[in-house]
Chains A and B, each alone.
Chain A
Amino acid sequence: MGSSGIRDRVAIVGMGCTRFGEHWDSSAADLLVDATEELFAATPVVNKDDVDAYWLGTLASGQSGMTLSTALCPDYKPVTRVENYCATGSEAVRNACYAVASGAYDRALAVGVEKLKDSGFSGLVRSDPPGDGTAAELSLTAPAAFSFLDPAYCARYGVHENDMREAMTHIAWKNHANGALNPKAQFRSGVTKEQVEQAQVVAGRLGVLDCSGVSDGAAAALVVPAEEAHLYTDRPLFIKGLSLVAGAAGGASDPAYDFTTFPEVVHSARDAFAQAGVTDPATELSLAEVHDCFTPTELVLMEDLGFAERGRAWKDVLNGAFELTGRLPVNPDGGLKSFGHPVGASGLRMLYECWLQFRGEAGQRQLDDPRLAVTHNLGGRPGNCVSFVAVVGPDRTG
């Protein structure tokens, strides 16, 4: 990796996030207004006109910067729309960070939005350029593509399918329990392990409760130079490392890839950790927000992000290592699983939880003095994806 890093050069000084869920009464424009108005209300020293530039992340709820500019009506400001599959929200904040770090702008606003529930379809709906009809992604749904992880992981590590099932169930149960403590989560009730395992099958061994919530929502972050951060808030969130990697779809074409890992995640984590000076993520981090689109994804991510040894994450999961009271709480806000997954907003929602935790505003799920956090956002599918990792902390010299 050639990135020299962005450690402590920029900070997030204001955030907003809508409740995620089925917003039948709100359009994408409404959700954009809701998230940004919440941010400005909580950050009274700035108003909309003080923002120098906007980055909008949305997968499919609008095109171009106009989606944001027609909703928020900024005064002839630059608005860039970005899209990078399910890592779209992280891509928006990443670009805003680099824009501020370059010195070109003093205040950049990253906003992510997705309005999934207007389609009438189950799950995500793709919009693909005209093609020859041979791409597997055209027919295979996201849960099916991620369900490949389950038999592959069992085969590689000799894990009995019942143990694997139990680990996947535990992840769903844990994230629902966390989400139940979160007033902005889509699903605010816990689920029993029996409910998880008896849920209607979607693909492979994944049932409905192994899948993230399909939802509407928006989230926003105001990015400023790190040295000015305290002008806006007494508790800024400092960016320690940012990394984005796009794979060459090697895994989808290379028989050497065995569907038990995301090489893109390994590479992006290595890069972000190096920028942040993290050498042992399993012990140095206070919390992690990871891309738990499906339960086996979170399991594999524990290994790819270095939170568990290879082939051992299923045991750590079952031992409670990643629960709120565990050695490294993962998805304390409920994750994609329970908070919901409005694609363009999800990466920003992960940062929002870190923001709340560092400020001591996470309510019933507040962790004790968190010092360093990771957000991980994945776009695509096993063998064929982009991966984003951020390391963030509450102190400028962390």
Chain B
Amino acid sequence: MSSANGIVAYAGYVPRYRVQREEMAAGLGAQSGPGARVVAGFDEDSTTMGVEAAAALLATLPEGDRAPAGGLYLATTSPAYADKANAAAVHAALDLPSSAFAADVAGSARSGMAAWRAAAADGGMAIMSDVRRGLPGSGDERTGGDGAAAFLFGDADHAVAEIVAQVSETAEILDRWRAPGGAAAGQWEERFGVEAYQPLAERAVRAVTDAAGGVAPDHAVVVSPNPGVAKRVRRLAAGAVSTTGSPVGHAGAADAGLGLADALDRAQPGETILVLSVADGCDALMLRVTDRIAAARQPHPVADQLTCGIDVPYPTYLAWRGLLEREPPRRPEPDRPAGPPSARGARWKFAFTGARCLRCGFVHLPPQRVCKGCRAADDMVPCPLARSAGTVATYTVDHLAFSPSPPLIEAVIDFDGGGRYTLEVADAAPETITVGTRVTLTFRMLYTSHGVHNYFWKARVADTQAPGYRQATPDAKRGADHG
């Protein structure tokens, strides 16, 4: 495993849901900022969004060339589990070989850069993903954002962007902190952080520019958990073409990654990108985009994802984040998924792999030994369908079912090429579904029971046929383009 010198593929993921800041302010009798806050769905967490970003990245690579040479590093400040590697679930959802290393790099915004360094060192994949919670009325609630980004590293010959230089500064500064598991972060007076971070950022910019041979950035991406720092440092490090921050607002460990994914969406061959991440020090990266970028851009640029949001009412969002407790339906809570059956069926549960009968072709979801088509026993091959599309055969909206966000929308999906399963529908308003609606799959967290997250796949209305998706208002666009 040689040290990798460039990014060979990338993707950013912006969840669909938006809370209008005006509505947040109205609900709390507070001041309103413009635009909308990007929020993860009730069934998304740092693990599922990491899968979204990584799966989008792998989809840009040729089939058969999708296993990273190195490890998989999942960075987040909002790990779904402690004491258990969340990266293992991502690894399973991506159906990667068991020989691949996968581990979490969790804790602080800087974990994103740690994953970057680890993956760059061994030709692996850095996945940065975060759900940022904040108390109602807080700055984190208003100007934070949820999302994920993924970067695959490899040698310079295959790079879409070379790593020209990379420097770091570290300092112990009590600017942002949170007790493990706490809902909301603390922040010291903003101006203290601005003063403390500025010299570090200045040194880092000088050092990375020197290390890059004096080259000036065409694009600059400047992010920090401290909004004042982000604003001040942008003046030190403006790009000739663009200077941007995090596309969704402060997104924890995903902040720099989402900003860089957005820059890669736009940058032209030969242009340079400076990434400055100011958190517990300062990390500065200088990248140069190669000719290969044109063919390797993610199909859904970050900016496009920002424009197709679905508004969610503020109280619903608060309930999603556990900040507002709703009366549950008069139904029992579901059982927790059990360990042994989840492990036996890991390729089914996590990678949506069924079984195809070798005699008659019947596709079984989940896999089973005796064919429902021809009754032959033990003559099956695995049939991975996580990337398949399908059609709604019939559907319903269940107002009685237990759901973290009722009502539950469920549809019978017939997959292209065979196979049927009944799945929940993600990111959907009931009116967006009908018999014949085309869907793809998305990895989600169905519910949590007794501390165990139930991960599985849901159907999602295929983008082109989603009447429920509306263009964001100009305000929402501006607001989401927080910097």
Residues of A within 8 A of B (CB): 119-123, 125, 128, 130-134, 136, 138-141, 143-145, 147-148, 151-152, 155, 201-204, 248-250, 252-255, 257-259, 383
Given A122-B329, A253-B421, 4 further pairs, Cβ under 8 A: A139-B334, A140-B396, A148-B396, A257-B420
| Contact, CB under 8 Å: B365 / A139 | no
Produce 1/0 per residue, B393-412, CB < 8 A to A. Answer: 11111111111000010101
**B338 is contacted by which of A121, A130, A152, A248 (Cβ under 8 Å)?**
A130
Tell whether, in the assembled complex, residue B397 and residue A203 are in contact, meaning their CB atoms are under 8 Å apart: yes
A130 vs B344: C-alpha distance when bound (angstroms): 13
B269 on the A face (CB < 8 A): no
- By CB atoms of chain A within 10 A, which of B340, B365, B412 has the most? B412
CA distance A144 to B435 in the complex (A): 15
Query: What 6 A-B pairs have minimum CB-CB distances, sorted nearest first?
Result: A133-B337, A130-B338, A144-B398, A136-B422, A133-B454, A255-B414
Report whether B348 and A132 are in contact in the complex, using a CB–CB cutoff of 8 Å. yes
* Set B335, B395, B396: member contacting A130, Cβ < 8 A: B335
Q: Which residue of A lies closest to B409 (CB)?
A: A144
Contacting pair A259 B393 (CB below 8 A):
yes
Contacts of B334-377 to chain A: CB distance below 8 A: 334-338, 340-342, 344-345, 348-349, 362, 364-366, 372-373
Q: Which of B340, B398, B422 contacts A252 (CB under 8 A)?
A: B422
Query: Which residues of chain A are near B403, meaning CB under 8 Å?
Result: 139
Most A CB within 10 A of own CB, among B336, B399, B414: B399
Judged by a CB distance under 8 angstroms, whether B181 is at the interface is no
Whether the Cβ atoms of A255 and B393 lie closer than 8 Å is yes
Q: Contacts A144-B410, A151-B394 given: A131-B337 contact, CB under 8 Å? A: yes
Query: Which chain A positions have C-beta within 8 A of B423?
Result: 136
Whether A134 contacts B348 by the Cβ 8 Å rule is yes
Does A253 lie within 8 Å of B400, measured CB to CB? no
**Does chain A have a CB within 8 A of B332?**
yes
Selected from B337, B362, B410, the residue in CB contact (under 8 A) with A139 is B410
On chain B, the residues within 8 Å of A254 by CB distance are 362, 372-373, 420
Q: Please state if B348 and A122 are interface contacts (CB–CB under 8 Å).
A: no
Q: Is B182 positioned at the interface, with any CB of A under 8 Å from its CB?
A: no
Whether B396 lies near A204 (C-beta < 8 A) is yes
Q: Counting CB contacts under 8 A, is B418 at the interface?
A: yes
- Known contacts A122-B331, A131-B337, A148-B394; A253/B399 CB under 8 A: no
Most buried by B among A130, A145, A152, A258: A130
- Residues of B with Cβ closer than 8 Å to A? 329-332, 334-338, 340-342, 344-345, 348-349, 362, 364-366, 372-373, 393-403, 408, 410, 412, 414, 418-424, 434-435, 446, 454, 456
Q: How far is the CB of B44 from chain A (nearest CB, A)?
A: 17
Which residues from chain B contact A133 at a C-beta distance below 8 Å?
A: 334-338, 342, 349, 446, 454, 456
**What are 11 inter-chain pairs, A to B, with CB distance below 8 A?**
A122-B331, A131-B341, A133-B336, A139-B401, A140-B401, A141-B331, A143-B398, A148-B394, A203-B396, A203-B397, A204-B398
**CA A138 – CA B398 in complex, angstroms?**
13
Tell me which residues across on chain A come within 8 A of B332, comparing CB atoms.
Answer: 119, 121, 125
Bound CA–CA A121/B328 (angstroms): 11
Q: How far is the CA of A253 from the CA of B400 in the complex (A)?
A: 24
Interface secondary structure of A, over-half rule: loop
Report A81 CB to chain B, min CB distance, Å: 23
Contacts of B349 in A (CB 8 A): 132-134
Closest Cβ neighbor of A125 among chain B residues: B332
On whether the beta carbons of B330 and A132 are closer than 8 Å, the reply is: no
| Contact A259 B398, beta carbon cutoff 8 Å | no
What is the CA–CA distance of A136 and B366 in the complex, to the nearest angstrom?
Answer: 11
Question: Which chain A positions have C-beta within 8 A of B424?
Answer: 139
A145 nearest in chain B by CB position: B396
Is A151 in contact with B341, judged by CB distance below 8 angstroms? no
Determine if B400 and A203 form an interchain contact, defined as CB atoms under 8 angstroms apart.
Answer: yes
Is A147's CB under 8 angstroms from B400's CB? no
Contacts of B412 in A (CB 8 A): 148, 259, 383
Residues of B within 8 A of A258 (CB): 393
CB nearest neighbor in A for B430: A204
Q: Roughly how many angstroms separate A122 CA and B362 CA in the complex, as a whole number? A: 37
With known contacts A132-B337, A152-B435, A259-B393, A253–B446 Cβ distance under 8 A: no
Q: How far is the CA of A147 from the CA of B407 in the complex (A)?
A: 14
Contact A120 B330 (CB under 8 A): yes
Nearest residue in B to A149 (C-beta to C-beta)? B394
Which residues on A sit within 8 Å (CB–CB) of B330? 120-122
* Residue pair B400, A141 in contact (C-beta under 8 Å): yes
Contact residue among A144, A152, A253, A259 (Cβ-Cβ distance under 8 Å from B401): A144
Q: Which residues of the other chain, B, contact A148 by a CB distance below 8 angstroms?
A: 394-396, 412
A248 and B368 alpha carbons, distance in the complex (Å): 11
Alpha-carbon distance A254/B364, docked complex (angstroms): 8
**In the complex, what distance in Å separates the CA atom of A253 from the CA atom of B348?**
14
Most chain B Cβ neighbours within 10 Å, of A119, A133, A252:
A133
Q: Which residues of B contact A144 (CB under 8 A)?
A: 396-398, 400-401, 408, 410
Measured between C-beta atoms, what is the minimum distance from B436 to chain A in Å? 9
A145 to chain B, nearest CB (A): 8
Minimum CB–CB distance from A254 to chain B (whole Å) comes to 6
**Within the assembled complex, what's the spacing in Å between the Cα atoms of A258 and B394?**
8
* Residue from the list B336, B341, B395, B418 in contact with A255, Cβ < 8 A: B418
Q: Say yes or no: B421 contacts A141, CB within 8 Å.
A: no
Which chain A residues border B397 with CB–CB below 8 Å?
144, 203-204
Complexed CA–CA distance, A122 and B338 (Å): 25
Give CA–CA (A144, B411) in the complex, Å: 10
Q: Are B398 and A141 in contact (CB under 8 A)?
A: yes
Q: Across the interface, do A139 and B446 meet the contact criterion of CB distance under 8 Å?
A: yes
Closest residue of chain A to B354 (Cβ to Cβ) is A253
Residues of A within 8 A of B420 (CB): 252-255, 257
Q: Assess A121 versus B331: contact at CB under 8 Å? Given A141-B401, A203-B396.
A: yes
Q: How far is the CA of A10 from the CA of B338 in the complex (A)?
A: 46
Q: Is B400 within 8 A of A151, CB to CB?
A: no
Nearest-neighbour CB distance to chain B for A94, whole angstroms, equals: 25
Q: Say yes or no: A132 contacts B400, CB within 8 Å.
A: no
B402 proximity list for chain A (CB < 8 A) = 139
Closest CB-CB distance, B274 to chain A, in whole Å?
45
CA A121 to CA B349, docked complex, whole Å: 29
Alpha-carbon distance between A130 and B335 when the two chains are bound, in angstroms: 8
User: B396 to A147, Cβ gap below 8 A?
Assistant: yes
Q: Who on chain A is nearest to B403 by CB? A: A139
Shortest distance from the beta carbon of B392 to any chain A beta carbon, whole Å:
10
Interface-central residue, B364, B393, B408, by most chain A CB under 10 Å: B393
Assess whether B408 is in contact with A134, with CB atoms less than 8 Å apart: no
Q: Which residue of B lies closest to A130 (CB)?
A: B338
| A132 in contact with B394 (CB, 8 Å) | no
B57 CB to nearest chain A CB (Å): 25
Counting chain A CB atoms within 10 Å of each CB, the highest count among B362, B408, B420 belongs to B420
Q: Are B398 and A203 in contact (CB under 8 A)?
A: yes
Closest A residue by C-beta to B368: A253
Instruction: For the complex formed, measure the closest distance between the CB of A128 and the CB atoms of chain B, giving whole angstroms.
Output: 7
The winner among A128, A151, A201, A258 for most chain B CB atoms within 10 A is A151
Q: How far is the CA of A259 from the CA of B420 in the complex (A)?
A: 13
Tell me the nearest residue of chain A to B423, going by C-beta.
A136
Q: A139-B410, A148-B412 are in contact. Are A132 and B399 (CB under 8 A)?
A: no
A133–chain B nearest beta-carbon distance, Å: 3
CA of A122 to CA of B345, assembled, Å: 32
Instruction: List chain B residues, Cβ under 8 A from A204.
Output: 396-398
Q: What is the CB-to-nearest-CB distance from B29 to chain A, in angstroms, rounded to a whole number?
A: 33
In the bound complex, residues from chain A placing their C-beta under 8 Å from that of B398 are: 139-141, 143-144, 147, 202-204
Report whether A140 and B334 are in contact in the complex, using a CB–CB cutoff of 8 Å.
no
Q: Which residues of B contact A136 (CB under 8 A)?
A: 410, 421-423
